[in-house]
Structure formats: C-alpha cells, structure tokens
Chain A
Amino acid sequence: MRSLILSAVIAACLAPLPGSTLQQLSLNDLILKSTTIVYGTAQPSYTAFRGSMIYTHYQVQVIKSYKTSLVRFLDVAVPGGAVNGARQSVAGAPVLTAGQNYLLFLWTSPGGLTQVIGLSQGVFNVNTNSVGQLIVSRGATTETMLNASGQVVTDSNIQMTLEQMASRIQNVLAGGSGQ
C-alpha cells in the first residue's frame, strides 16, 4: 500500500490549484497589500461607467484611518451595477449598506480607482457589542482556509475588537507578524 510511504511526501506538497477567481488573502496580506485601511461609514451609492465597466461607487465617511488615508471621504468602487438600464452582474462583489460602519481594506489602482481588496475579502463589519466595544467581524467562513501557497490561513473567520485590530495593523505595518 502506497499510502504510508506517501504521507510525508504529500504533506510537503499539498497545495490547491489557484482559484478560478479568488486568491485567498490572510489578514496580514490584507494589511500589507492594501493601500488604505479605514474605519468609516458607508454613504448612499451611485453607479457610473469606467470604460466598458460599470462600477458602483460608495462614498465612505472616514472615521479613522489606519493606513495612509488623510481624507474625510473616500470613493470606493465595487465592480458591477446598473447605469441607465444597462446592468453588469459581478458575482461576489460586496454590497455596502448606507449608514453601516465598516473597516475597509482598500487598494487604489495605478489608474486611481479605489476598491475593496480581494472583492469581498477586505470588508469587515463593525458593530458594538453588549459592553460597548466596537467589534470587527467578517462573515461566516469555514474553519480552515488555505492561501495560494497551500499554507493555513487561520484567521479567515475574524472577530476581534477594533482596538485589537488596530494593534494588529500597527504591528504588521511595523514589520511584525501580527500574531
């Protein structure tokens, strides 16, 4: 039986084929690869063409910035939407609710378009718990996730206080592991 012989070899080689759409990012990836990280409130959206692509633009009122942003309002674009009856459907694109607070990991393209990193991966809800703490959470996920290299991403189901998240961001940006 080959199974016992192969086990150790498999362990060293396990790696998923990269996805057809998404590459999963760890929290550290989100922190490092984003160009802007803000805690803010989503405002009503509008839609517009950019070339042949429709984007839904959310104005986000920045409450606090954790990486680079110095502005009070940010224009965050999400692919897909409807303009004058023309509709583009992008599966997995996040929908921000006006009035809801979010922690957003954003990325600005060379062409100046600011988007959520990793489609929906950079969107975290921020809510107040029963003792008044601001809690950062990302929606239901599986218990274990792998990144593009087949390594375990243990923080996919994230829930922590905003204060803890801020500390994590600060630590990672300072060169620490954040753990």
Chain B
Amino acid sequence: MNARWLVRLGALIASSFLLTSTGSAYYYYTYFASTAPPYNPIVARFDLTAVNNNTVPFFISGAAPSTMYPGDTFQSVISQIQAAANAWNGVSTSSLRLAFGGLYPTGTTQSAPGIQIEFSDDIPPGLLAYSSPTTFDYNLVTAPNGTFIPVTLSVMHLPSNLVAQGNGASYSEEFFITLVHEFGHTLGLQHTLASSVMSTITTTAATKASPLGADDIAGISLLYPAANYLSTVGSISGQVTMNGVGLNLASVVVISPSNQAVATLTNPDGRYQINGIPAGVDGIDYYVYVHPLPAPLQGEGTPDNIFYPHNSAGVFLAPDTNFVTQFYPNTQSPGPSNLILVQPGVVTQNINFAVSPSNSPGISSVRTYASITGTNNYIASSGAPLIAAETTTIAAYGAGLLQPYNSSSTSYSVTPSLSVNVMGSAAQASNLRPFLPPYPYIAVDISVSSFAGIGPKHLMFSTPGNLYVLPGGISVVDQPPPVISALAPTTDSNGNPAVFIAGLQFMPNTQVLFDGVPAVVETQTTNSLLVTPPPAPPGYTASITALNPDGQSSLFYKPTAPTFTYAAPASSAVSAAGPSLVVSPSMIPAGGSLTLTVQGSGTNFTQGVTTVGFGTSDVLVTQVNVTSPTQLTVNVTPNVTISSANITITTGLEVISQAVGSQITATDTQQ
C-alpha cells in the first residue's frame, strides 16, 4: 500500500449526502445565529419559491447611460447585460434562471423579488460597479435545504458615464466580465480566491469566452441546486487551527493539476466544508491547501473585499490572516502522495490543518500576463494563454515578488530565493528574472508540454517558509486567439441574409456575437464563418466578436471590435418613426391574469426569441406567443396595483420600450 493510499485512508470517508447545515462552499453573505460553536452558516439568497419557474427577473433602468463609448448604444449595453445573465443561465446544475423583465422608469418600486440594474451618477471615480443585495435582518426562512435569508431586491449599480469611469466598450472583455461578476453578487456570491469570475480583478482568469470557473459553478449550484446535483459532486470537510485554536475566514482550496480550483472560507471555529467539487464518476484526486486572505489591496476595505460574516450579537467577524500557506497534510511541496480522492455524493472528512504563524507577509495577489500571437502583432492578456509545446515568457506582478524599490535602486531585483513552478507536469518554469525596467514585474519562461492538455494550470510561488498558489495562473491552448480580418453581407444557400466573416483560428464551436447576441453559425472553416445575424433594427450597427471554446476571443488580438451595419430601412417613413407598439386592453385587474395583444409597427417579433417585460416584478409575464412579426399576445399576472409601467419587447438586438401609462394600469379589485 503506497503513501497515497495511506493518505486516502487517513481521511475518514463518510457516505453522507452533501449540503448539511454545517457548511457550504465558496463564499456567501453569511450570518451566524449564535455567538459560539457550533457555527451553522445562514446565507442570503433569493427564495425561488417566491418567483415564477425559478426565474429571477432583472430590470434595467430606462434612464440610459449618459455617456457611452463611441459606437455603443443603449441597445448594445442591454444586449451585453442579457448575455452576462445568460452566462449564469448556462449553469445546468443550478436551478436558478435569470430573465430580462424590461426597462423600468426611475422610481419604480416592486414587492416581488428581482434585480434592478441602474446607471448611476452617484458612483465616484475609482469604482467601476457595485452591487447590493437587500435582506431583512433576522428574517430567516427554513427550507428543505436549510435555513437562509431571502434576498428581496438586488441592485447592480453601473456608472452613468461609462467612459469617464473607464468601464470599457460594451463589447469589451472587461465590461462583460464586470457584468457577470456583478450578477454573481446580486445572486448572493461573494469574492473567492479561486481565479474565477467571482475573484477580484487581481487574480481573476475569467474571459468573455469562458466566464465561469468551477468555483463559480459550484457556488451558484449550491445556492440554488438543481435536482440531483449534490449526488454528482463531492465534498471535503475539516478544520484549520493554529496552536489549537480555530481560524476564521481561512481560505481552503481544492485543486488538481488538471482541474480548476474550488474554495471556501472557514467558519469562526476554523471548520469548513467544501461542497460542489467536480468528482467525475469514480472520483478525482485533488490537493487541498489552506492560505490566509491577502492583505487588503488599494481600495479594498477588507481582505479581498470580503463582507465579513456577522453573528447574532451583530459582531462582524474579522479574518485570521497571520499564518503560512500549507498543503494537506502539513507540507509546502505537494506530491502524488498528498492527493485526496473526492468521490461523488461523498463527504471526505477530517482534512485538518494545523498551520504555523507567518514571519513575513509573503507573496500574495499575483496577476499574470502572456504574449498573444495573432498574425504579426502581440498583445498582453490576463489568464496567460500559452500554446502547448512552446516556450513562452510570462510576466507577473504581485506582493512579495520583487525586493522593495527605493531611491538608491537602479533596477528591480527578484525576491531572494523566490522560485516559480507549475503544479503537476504540464509545464516547466525557468529563467526567473526581473522584467524589463521600469516595470515592476517578474518574468519567467514557461515550457508547456505537448501533452499538457488545454485548460487552466496553476502556478506556485515559493520563498523559504512561504508559499503562494495562483490557480489558473496560466491557461494552455492549442492555437492563438481567433482573428476577424474582414466581414461582409451576403446570402446563405437559401437566399437569406447572412454575414461572411474572414479570419484566422476559428474552431468548430466558435461563437460569433453581434454585440451581446449570438449569431447562428451556418458554416465554419479555420479561416471563415458564414453566420445568420440576430434580428436587429434596419441600419443598426453591431460590434462583432468571435469567441473560441478555449477561452480566447478575437478581442485578445484586436481589442477594438469590427462592426457590421444591417441593411438600411426600406422606407424613410419607417426609419423616421421607428418601431412602435399598441397594447390592448388598456386595463388589467390585479390578482388575476389576462392576455394582452400587442400590435407592432416596424417590428420583427419572433417566437422563442422575443421577450416581453413590464419593468417590475409585480407584473408577471407567464407566456409570450408570437402570431406574426408585428403581433403577439402576452399572458400577464399583476400582483399589485402599479401606478406606471413600461412595456419592453426585445427581439435580438431590437429593443422597443415605451411607457404604457394609463394603457395598463393595474387595478386592485380587492380594494
């Protein structure tokens, strides 16, 4: 029996099902209904029994951003918000779904749960966005999966002036990732240190083509589990102590050379349980390590900007951070003997850590960059995509990588005895050195094995007595990112309007976005795509991006997206008037349901594509039936009397919104 099996047996395997009340993975907005052990985290989340079909509606302020990037429109911003929501909708193991519920007028209030997205003049410089779930203290709900605090309303705040705040163009990588990240907050997720989309800017490896990591998927799936989810994933549990005392908010991470990290933070007594660990059919081997939360970066109010858990006494519980990173069991040099088998439906218990105090701040908050080769030009990007079987230099910056720079220094020096390694055998690191002055980075050459397999790989930065692990510090890819070199209108084999896209490095599953809406790919080669564009108003100009399944996008090579302009309107009359709607009947009673008929002019209604919303969760849309490109019916159920509302109809990139005012004034017949 080898050491690996000894380790496996050393951990008690309990065949209990997951998600007990003793812990959960990732990190949520957490409350403890006690001041002493046992600590049972109670987290904030939407109550899916209070919404229709597990669908939380999100509403976008009708007050459009005051300033947008050149070429951007309110429609393009809306489409990217919808695309960001769809990133979360794509998690099959989560039962929660998000649906666009239309534009809302300023001052709209609502009684049913939902998400509002506003463009605010109140966001100060230095802040790109923030979100705030609203809960009610001590409003605890007990459900079969445990007690939770229901979120009644989440508000996502984006700057009204998107240019001054530097949020990026609507199609950009950064704007999209910001939206996905903020949606995560609105749903109840806090920051993690697993390099996923819920990580902060410093360590996130999320990209537009691959926005969610394993930690994000586990986090949302545990908060809103789909049927049977828990039986398909594994768990580990244990305690983190120092000198026999449990440590609060220590970050425990499961990771393997070929699997993304999943992490959680410990309870005040040091206990933890990581659920939602991908475990395959027969189990997957993982390393487990614990590390302290990093010191707050500039602008962070707390380490990693974690909103601390609070207890029944109203005390916010700060993290214990003064200890050294350690792999289980008690090593800083993990090898095959340290792997732990995680099996589906099983909690592997007693993965305990007895950590040592730290004598120095060590290394933390590292971000990596790699050169990207497109054709003849190079750019840098996050996530550090590296091509298999090649040696590429990456750069990294972060705390503790370089010696302090002072006025007598002539160049940066690497921290003495610093070493950089890649976890596992996917790649070798060599030639560690300071980067070209005056940039405060280190440089290191990474030789990727031809057998590495694509996907994120993890970096380990070591100094004597200290260790820092950066999950997903590099990402192995087979080829450079996709490139769009030209596009032109054409027709497909059926004579329908299509767009021909010429470029490089397209893949079988390359996705093409017109602003935030996917086009239908009809044919694909490495160098060309023929796509059916999504519906859009005549004359509309969309920004085009190509996303490859390896996580790279055409924006890696050319951060400015090419554009495509739809054919001009057939008649100037339609162009001048724009599409419009007539809704009947004009009155609907609260508490009942009614079928409304919407007659459009200049519209392009399409069954399965067109959405209808009224800007408030108090008017529930239960069904939309398109009868023609200019007519549809919509079944609605108003919950309460509303004083005003908008009707918003979207079809691809076509967004029609108008006040319905007295046309649809819900009348409470109970009064």
**Interface of A toward B, CB cutoff 8 Å:** 1-4, 6-11, 13-25, 29-30, 33, 50-54, 79-80, 82, 85-95, 107, 109-111, 113, 115-122, 138-146, 148, 152-154, 156
Determine whether B654 belongs to the interface, using a CB cutoff of 8 Å to chain A: no
Which residue of chain A has its CB nearest to the CB of B153? A52
Chain A residues, CB < 8 A from B265: none
Asked if B155 and A53 make an inter-chain contact with CB atoms under 8 angstroms apart, the answer reads yes
- Contact B132 A14, beta carbon cutoff 8 Å: no
Q: A22-B201, A85-B137 in contact; A141/B126 too (CB < 8 A)?
A: no
Q: Mark B150-193, 1 if CB is under 8 A from A, else 0.
A: 00110101000000011110000110011001100100001100
Please indicate which of the listed interface residues A3, A82, A117 has the most CB atoms of chain B within 10 Å of its own CB.
A3
Q: Is B451 an interface residue (CB 8 A)?
A: no
| Distance, CA A21 to CA B139, complexed state (A) | 29
- Asked if residues A3 and B127 are in contact (CB atoms below 8 Å), the reply is no
Q: What distance in Å separates the Cβ of B355 from its nearest Cβ neighbour in chain A?
A: 20
What's the dominant secondary structure at chain A's contact region? loop
Show the binding face of B for A, using Cβ within 8 Å: 29, 44, 107, 109, 116, 118, 121-139, 152-153, 155, 157, 165-168, 173-174, 177-178, 181-182, 185, 190-191, 197, 200-201, 204, 295-302, 305-307, 361, 364-365, 367, 369, 371, 373, 378-382, 390-393, 395, 397-400, 402, 404-405, 431, 435-436, 438-441, 443, 445
Chain A to chain B contacts (Cβ below 8 Å), 30 pairs: A2-B393, A6-B393, A7-B393, A17-B173, A17-B177, A17-B201, A17-B382, A18-B166, A18-B168, A22-B128, A22-B200, A22-B300, A23-B126, A25-B125, A52-B109, A88-B132, A89-B29, A89-B132, A89-B133, A89-B135, A91-B305, A118-B127, A118-B299, A119-B124, A119-B130, A142-B298, A142-B365, A143-B405, A144-B397, A152-B440
Among A86, A87, A93, A142, the residue within 8 A (CB) of B398 is A142
Q: Which residues of A contact B134 (CB under 8 A)?
A: 52, 54, 86-88
The residue on B at minimum CB distance from A19 is B201
Q: Which of A17, A24, A111 interacts with B298 by CB under 8 Å?
A: A24
A109 adjacent to B128 (CB under 8 Å): no
Q: Which residues of A contact B371 (CB under 8 A)?
A: 2, 6, 9-10
Q: What's the Cα separation between A121 and B305 when bound, in Å?
A: 12
Contact partners of A122 in chain B: CB under 8 A: 124, 126
- The answer on a CB contact under 8 Å between B139 and A90 is no
CA of A114 to CA of B135, assembled, Å: 25
- Chain B residues whose C-beta falls within 8 Å of the C-beta of A138 in the assembled complex: 298
> Other CB < 8 Å A-B pairs besides A17-B381, A152-B440, 16 of them?
A14-B395, A18-B174, A20-B197, A20-B201, A21-B200, A88-B133, A89-B132, A91-B185, A92-B299, A109-B124, A110-B121, A118-B126, A119-B127, A121-B298, A143-B402, A145-B297
Residue contact B201 to A118, C-beta cutoff 8 Å? no
Report the minimal beta-carbon distance from B124 to chain A, rounded to whole angstroms: 4
Q: Are A91 and B127 also in contact (CB < 8 A) when A142-B297, A143-B402 are?
A: no
| Distance of A123 Cα from B190 Cα, bound (Å) | 23
Taking CB atoms, residues of chain A closer than 8 Å to B390 are: 2
Query: In the bound complex, how far is the Cα of B441 from the Cα of A9, in angstroms?
Result: 14
Query: Is the beta-carbon distance between B126 and A18 smaller than 8 angstroms?
Result: no
Q: With the chains together, A119 CA to B126 CA distance in Å? A: 7
Contacts of B306 in A (CB 8 A): 91
CB of B309, distance to nearest CB on chain A (Å) = 10
A78 to B338, CA, bound (A): 46
> Do B166 and A23 have beta carbons less than 8 Å apart?
yes
List residues of chain B with CB within 8 A of the CB of A9: 371, 378
Task: Report the nearest B residue to A108, measured CB to CB.
Answer: B124
Asked if residues B302 and A91 are in contact (CB atoms below 8 Å), the reply is yes
- The distance in angstroms between the C-alpha atoms of A135 and B436, with both chains bound, is 35
Closest-by-CB residue of A relative to B182 is A20
For A119, list chain B residues within 8 Å (CB): 124, 126-127, 130, 299, 301
